[in-house]
Chain A
Amino acid sequence: MDRNRTTNNTPPVFPERMTERYRSLVPDPQALTEALLQPPRRSFRVNHLKTDPATARARIEAYGCRLVPVPWYDDAFIIDRYPADSPRPEPLVLEQVLGHIHMQELASMLPPLAIRSELTTAERVLDACAAPGSKTTLMAALMANKGTIIANDKQFGRVRALKFNLERQGVLNTLITNHDLRKWPPDQLFPLILLDAPCSSEGTIRKNPHLLARWKETLYEGHSSLQQQLLLRAFDLLTPGGLLLYATCSLAPEENEGVVDILLRRRPQASLEPIHVDRITFSPGIAEFESARYDPRVTACARVWPHVHDTDGFFMARIRKS
């Protein structure tokens, strides 16, 4: 077993309909299913609010860990190998406990990076579905703890994890709210919003193989309906000229391009912008899936495929309000 990958004991079996869907999504569906069966790589990012990459890297390598830099993000590393005499397969590192580093799947670092230039000058940001806070804390680091992030999550139980992560990482520029975004006061507008919407999490099968056993195509319908409501509401909370980043960790077009398509139909002020993160190339959004035909502009969205990037699957759309 490759030591840089976590293990799981669930026998992975892809439902036939799932693989059939993948045949409509990618030219090489077998590569996708094989990548989804690979346990995830362990990765972390350095928290600039507490330390710097050179210091963190030197300390962790001194423990005997072998680190591999991530080509598209200088603050991120893959733990290729832990010391052979580690007492546990995934030993706990002091720097984790002190919040100097944050263990985070690489793809989930991308949404804040996709709005990086806006974050560096942002005074007010809404993180609409913030818990457990991996993206919130990265946004706070990119903002150098300046400005204000309203970190909202509807689920009270998840807010606890959010608080814990913010405190551990020394995030001061955050106000936590526990509110249903769909009922957010219409007069509270934001120039920048991140909506990392609740989803089927299909892109995280590598980490959560149990999702395969629970998979049903009807799952997408329920998620899609909620995502549409959240996206429309989030868009309405943008100031004119404001920017909304919509993201999910789903591979399903129903939860991604399909949701963005509804927004484009219902909100003529909405337009899509290309997504750029240095040194990484994204796959375009999908305009046709089985019998569905979406607004062709959805090709400006970005897809992160597990078999292309060796990460979880992710979807992002940069939406501007005119």
Chain B
Amino acid sequence: MTICPEHIRQRVVGYLRERFALDPSPWEPWQFYRASRGRVHLGPILTIDTPRPDVAGCLIARVERTVKPSTALFQLFGRHVQREIIDLDRHETQRYFTGESITIHPARIADCRPGFVMLRYEQLPLACGLLRERGLIENQLPRSSWCQIDLL
């Protein structure tokens, strides 16, 4: 884990601003870190060198060919997201958390462009999804987060 190079930080911040109208001010107090496999974390200012920290704060994005926002990012800063939001109903929320991809009626996504979207349930930011053509939302939850939610 190293301090994130400025051009990667700018790429993440620029993408989130352009796609989700997400203002960068909420994370100004934080440090961006780069970890393996393109992962970008948001964490505190580095205060120790040895032993070297393995992980800082939360994973907020993955930067490879494109920028992929993380579920943790939306769950933490989702209330600041202004567009590319899809509201799920109870049943869709349950299915999404079991790891399924879901298809919803195109009328409900008229305002959204294909690409990464924030999923929401009763105003609660839930997760990141990948919106494809014809209302398909590809599941982006890591397998470790799949679960059967009973009460919602």
Contacts and interface: CB of A to CB of B under 8 A. Distances in A.
Q: Which residue among A97, A171, A176, A179 has the maximum number of chain B CB atoms within 10 Å of its CB?
A: A97
A99 B75 contact: yes
B152 A148 contact: no
Contact of B44 (A88, A159, A174): A174
Interface string B28-55: 0010000000000011111110111111
A86 B58 contact: no
B54 A159 contact: yes
B149 A147 contact: no
Given A148-B45, A175-B56, A177-B52, A98 B124 contact: yes
Interface string A50-69: 10000000001001110000
A177 B47 contact: no
A177 B48 CA distance: 10
A159 B104 CA distance: 38
Q: Which residue among A63, A98, A177 has the maximum number of chain B CB atoms within 10 Å of its CB?
A: A98
A173 B57 contact: yes
Given A50-B75, A98-B124, A188-B50, A172 B42 contact: yes
B93 interface: yes
Interface string B52-72: 111111110000000000001
Interface string A158-185: 0100011011101111111111000011
Interface string A185-216: 10010000000000000000000000000000
Contacts of A93: 149-152
B47 A124 contact: yes
A87 B42 contact: no
B144 interface: yes
A97 B127 CA distance: 11
Contacts of B124: 94, 98
Given A91-B150, A167-B58, A175 B126 contact: no
Nearest to B59: A167
B55 A170 contact: no
Interface string A110-139: 000000000000001000000000000000
A63 B152 CA distance: 7
A83 interface: yes
A287 B148 CA distance: 49
Contact of B57 (A60, A86, A92, A171): A171
Interface residues of B, number: 34
A175 B75 contact: no
A86 B48 contact: no
A177 B150 contact: no
A150 B56 CA distance: 9
Given A97-B97, A150-B48, A177-B52, A172 B150 contact: no
A166 B58 contact: yes
B26 to A, nearest CB: 10
B48 A92 contact: no
Contacts of A168: 72
B71 to A, nearest CB: 9
Given A124-B47, A174-B44, A98 B58 contact: no
A147 B44 contact: yes
Contact of A170 (B76, B121, B147, B149): B76
A136 B30 CA distance: 19
Cβ-closest 5 pairs across A and B: A91-B150, A94-B152, A175-B53, A179-B51, A63-B151
26 contacts: A60-B151, A82-B151, A88-B150, A91-B150, A91-B151, A92-B147, A92-B148, A92-B151, A93-B149, A94-B124, A94-B151, A97-B145, A148-B44, A148-B45, A148-B47, A150-B48, A166-B57, A167-B58, A170-B58, A171-B58, A172-B44, A172-B58, A173-B44, A174-B43, A179-B51, A184-B51
